[in-house]
């Protein structure tokens, strides 16, 4: 399958015009199929560095935001109408086993939130789950990582101590933890504790890091630490993000995440728009890098992720709204994604592309956005129907386009 496009974004620093991208897939009906798409831009699919898949309920929780620390929000959130409503579908029993009960329904909501914003690769920050949890999804939810919830609260949701988790990583996979998520003395002391514990390592991925000083950010850059910012969630909960200018100045491997909709943005497309509007010193190219190349590095993903070769199994085809391909992503919406392929499998897009693949139509859901016939892998409509049945009424989720 060959697709000729107006522009091909290979990486943040390499773009080609009038390029032809060849799709590698074992389920193509004919390898010689050709598409001429002069109004499209080809990108590598996006990567969401920080997500809580089971937390994508709406509306947001947090009547008294901003807070000095998210520890306060967590307790307030548990009493919110939104959280109580979500608990009608699934309630934790303390084990944080997400293969139990209806946790899968909530996780699938999060999966589709990401699909419809061009993210077929997601880091779900939770205790490591059984293999069946990750195998259940139509996208790649990363399973090779070690984690700690935070230094301030420990691994309350499951797992070993932070030091033991890092040791188990052997430096060969990301070690992920929330850090310095607030403005109080405890948050400001987190970095010192991280450093003294020997956890300031090249495979460490700090989530949020709001209270880090410029000097501490410089140390992160020197050690090769990655930092994930979730701007919308950070501003909503704490009123600020990490010092992004210092991150850029010192060359930190800076990446972007959405967090869950209980505190964060609707999806990655909303997240990059928020970041661009709030922090105008962040260029569209830099934001693109944060959800592609930098993300691949932070999560120890295969080198084929986060960039686009002319011969590929990963592709996102998007309408050309702005001629600058990086400005284009700041203007795109779910409807503008014409084809999303991951590991040679069509995930989402315009229905006419699906005709070239040898698939079982029963494995896909078909719907319309405006006048365009769309497909998506799996059956999100059945997930919604099951949730509606449990609630006893219909629940809308703004990240679902049907």
DSSP secondary structure string for all residues of 201-258: -TTEEEEE-TT--HHHHHHHHHHT-EEEE-HHHHHHHHS--S-HHHHHHHT-EEEE--
pLDDT at 11 over 90: yes
Per residue in 108-128, pLDDT (tens digit) is 999 999 999 999 999 999 999
pLDDT at 19 over 90: yes
Q: Which residues contact 172 (CB under 8 A, 6 or more apart)?
A: 203, 300
Average pLDDT, the chain: 97
Give the model's pLDDT for residue 47. Answer: 99
Distance, in Å, from the CA atom of 21 to the CA atom of 4, rounded to the nearest integer, reads 6
Give the model's pLDDT for residue 128. Answer: 96
* 318 within 8 A of 338, measured Cβ to Cβ: yes
CATH classification code of 1-402? 3.20.20.140
- Range 64-71 average pLDDT: 95
Give the model's pLDDT for residue 256. Answer: 98
37 pLDDT tier (thresholds 50, 70, 90): very high
Say if residue 75 is exposed, middle or buried (CB neighbours under 10 Å; 0-12, 13-18, 19+). Answer: exposed
157 vs 245, higher pLDDT = 245
Best CA proximity match to 155, nearest among 182, 183, 186, 177:
177
pLDDT at 158 over 90: no
User: Which residue's structure tokens are 């548990």?
Assistant: 78
Q: 304 to each of 12, 45, 49, 111, 310, how far by Cα in Å?
A: 14, 11, 17, 22, 11
**What does the CA dihedral 99, 227, 44, 281 come to, rounded to 10 degrees?**
140
Helix (H, G, I), strand (E, B) or coil at 54: helix
pLDDT at 152 over 90: no
User: Which residue's structure tokens are 């956890």?
Assistant: 199
pLDDT at 6 over 90: yes
Edge to edge, the sheet with strand 204-208 lists 146-150, 175-179, 204-208, 226-229, 253-256
- Range 95-114 average pLDDT: 96
Torsional class of 23: left (φ above 0), alpha (ψ -120 to 50), beta (otherwise): beta
For residue 275, how many other CB atoms are within 10 A of its CB? 25
CA angle 13–328–297, rounded 5-degree value: 40
Give the model's pLDDT for residue 398. Answer: 98
The structure's pTM equals 0.97
- Range 320-341 average pLDDT: 98
pLDDT at 153 over 90: no
Domain-wise residue ranges, the chain = 1-402
Helix (H, G, I), strand (E, B) or coil at 34: strand
94 pLDDT tier (thresholds 50, 70, 90): confident
Give the model's pLDDT for residue 165. Answer: 96
Torsional class of 347: left (φ above 0), alpha (ψ -120 to 50), beta (otherwise): alpha
pLDDT at 145 over 90: yes
**What does the CA dihedral 85, 86, 87, 90 come to, rounded to 10 degrees?**
150
259 pLDDT tier (thresholds 50, 70, 90): very high
394 pLDDT tier (thresholds 50, 70, 90): very high
pLDDT at 95 over 90: no
1 pLDDT tier (thresholds 50, 70, 90): very high
- Range 289-308 average pLDDT: 98
Give per-residue burial for 158-191: e unless 16+ CB within 10 Å, then b.
bbbebeebbeebeeebbbbbbbbbbbeebbbebb
Q: Choose the weakest-confidence range: 50-59, 81-90, 152-161, 162-171.
A: 152-161
For residue 281, how many other CB atoms are within 10 A of its CB? 8
């Amino acid at each position: 399958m060959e697709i000729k496009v107006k522009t091909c974004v290979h990486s943040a620093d390499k773009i080609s015009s009038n390029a032809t991208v060849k799709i590698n897939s074992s389920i193509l009906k004919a390898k010689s199929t050709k598409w001429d798409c002069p109004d499209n831009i080809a990108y590598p699919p996006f990567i969401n560095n920080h997500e809580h898949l089971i937390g994508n309920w709406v509306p947001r929780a947090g009547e008294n935001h901003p807070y000095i620390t998210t520890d306060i929000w967590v307790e307030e959130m548990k009493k919110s109408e939104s959280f109580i409503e979500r608990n009608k579908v699934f309630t934790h029993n303390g084990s944080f086993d997400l293969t139990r009960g209806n946790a899968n329904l909530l996780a699938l909501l999060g999966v589709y939130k990401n699909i419809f914003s061009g993210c077929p690769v997601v880091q779900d920050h939770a205790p490591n789950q059984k293999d069946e949890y990750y195998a259940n999804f139509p996208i790649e939810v990363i399973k090779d990582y070690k984690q700690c919830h935070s230094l301030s609260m420990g691994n309350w949701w499951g797992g070993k101590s932070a030091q033991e988790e890092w040791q188990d990583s052997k430096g060969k996979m990301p070690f992920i933890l929330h850090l310095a998520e607030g403005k109080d003395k405890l948050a400001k002391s987190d970095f010192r504790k991280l450093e003294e514990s020997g956890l300031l390592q090249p495979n460490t991925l700090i989530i949020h890091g709001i209270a880090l000083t410029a000097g501490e950010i410089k140390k992160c850059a020197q050690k090769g630490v990655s930092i994930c910012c979730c701007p919308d969630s950070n501003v909503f909960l704490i009123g600020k993000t990490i010092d992004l200018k210092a991150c850029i100045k010192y060359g930190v491997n800076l990446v972007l995440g959405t967090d869950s909709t209980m505190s964060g943005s609707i999806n990655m497309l909303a997240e990059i728009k928020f970041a661009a509007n709030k922090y105008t010193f962040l260029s569209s190219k830099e934001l693109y890098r944060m959800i592609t190349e930098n993300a691949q590095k932070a999560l120890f993903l295969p080198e084929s992720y986060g960039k686009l070769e002319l011969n590929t199994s990963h592709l996102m085809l998007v309408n050309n709204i702005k001629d600058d391909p990086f400005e284009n992503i700041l203007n795109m919406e779910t409807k503008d994604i014409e084809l999303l392929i991951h590991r040679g499998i069509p995930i989402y897009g315009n229905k006419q592309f699906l005709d070239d693949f040898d698939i079982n139509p029963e494995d896909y859901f078909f719907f319309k956005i405006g006048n365009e016939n769309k497909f998506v892998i799996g059956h999100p409509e059945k997930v919604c129907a099951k949730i509606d049945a449990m609630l006893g009424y219909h629940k809308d989720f703004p990240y679902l386009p049907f």
